[in-house]
Amino acid sequence: MVVAASAVVAVASAAGTMTALGEDAADDRRAAHHDAPRTGPSAAGSAGSPLPSPSATAATPSGSPSPSASPTPSATRKPRAAAPARLYHHPESQVLDWVRDHPDDPRRAVVESRIASRPAAVWFADYAPGTLTSRVRAVTSGAAAQGRVPVLVAYAIPDRDCGGASEGGAPDLDAYAGWIDRFAAGLGSRETIVILEPDSIAQTGCLSADRRDARLAALARAGRVLRAANPKARVYYDAGHSHWNSPAHQAALLRQAGAASAAGIFSNVSNFRRTADEIVYDRQVLDLLGGPPGLGAVIDTSRNGNGAPADSEWCDPDGRTIGRAPTLDTGEPRIDGYLWVKLPGESDGCKGAAGEFSPSYAYELASSS
């Protein structure tokens, strides 16, 4: 992958964490109490959402007037706001496998409490259309059983990563269209977040003009197919990050890819840019993108607690730490969520093979301050 890119990792698993360090530690202290993962196929973590959500609990009155009270506004309390949606913690990942298999490792407690216990994205990165629908459905049905919101990453665009460490994907755009159809068939009918093809828009500089236009058209079709299959699916498009393309350039590409008709954009996937910088950048991109006022952004905070290194190194740089805990309750206008899209501890390709879990790297991320 080129230096500007996000160092996306081609994996198909999920992880999660209990607390965050670095610039965002205060936010994690507020979110430190969470449900313990349940055993079985639908274990879940916790998060919240300020947005109206189809899966959120319906508003219920917190009180009722006394039989002797007169029917005045002061006699009845206002109904409480709908309970916030909560993110789904998938029970299968490399970090969870490592935690289970290494009960006596001295790093285990830190890795388990600060990474393995948090909800993170589930990646679908291999081109295996024959099993794709059932694998997507296993995640969405597990989340539905708990009333939680899963985060799925669709990562199979042809020419993925411009031939870098995460190369691969579908053999061509026709095959990709079929892959997306099968992905969409597993989405179910509940609220779901789809991170559509990290790096696919920001990293189009390696493509000829014709191939770039064809890719953006394929992404526009993908968004339509996903939303048609599940109207409650919140599809987010690639905005790169705050130190990559200019907001105007990125917004123009996003518009061509149909992002103005989706839920919005995502940024910082697999990178280290500070949350505050991403908030400013994402709002600039959204303003330039246009579209309905409800468009928002989600930010990958999985490894940005200390920000990016001074030399902008993207491949497993030293001195990084986990960032804000995953949540859909950011308190920031137009910022729909802080998500752990990149799975902390899984290598960018320097401290291990791309996508390979490194316990030493995970421990470094979880224990740095």
Strand partners, 238: 266
Contact between residue 253 and residue 285 where contact means Cβ atoms under 8 Å apart: no
Instruction: Give the residue ranges of DSSP H helices in 235-325.
Output: 247-256, 275-289
In angstroms, the CA 52 to CA 244 distance is 32
Q: Could you give the CA distance from residue 302 to residue 37 in angstroms, rounded to a whole number?
A: 19
Tell me which amino acid residue 109 is: A
Residues serving a catalytic function are: 161, 199, 348
What whole-number distance in Å separates Cα of residue 147 and Cα of residue 141?
10
**How far is residue 87 CA from its own chain's centroid?**
10
For 57, the 3-state DSSP assignment is: strand
Q: How far is CA 242 from CA 179, 292, 319, in A?
A: 30, 23, 20
Please report, in angstroms and rounded to a whole number, the separation of the first and last CA atoms in the chain. 28
- Rounded-to-integer distance, Cα 247 and Cα 290, Å: 12
d(CA 211, CA 35): 46
Pairing label, strands 122-124, 151-154: parallel
d(CA 260, CA 250): 12
**Distances from the Cα of 244 to the Cα of 2, 8, 18, 236, 241, angstroms:** 11, 14, 30, 18, 6
The 10 Å Cβ neighbour count of residue 251 is: 22
Token pair in block for residue 223: 């968004």
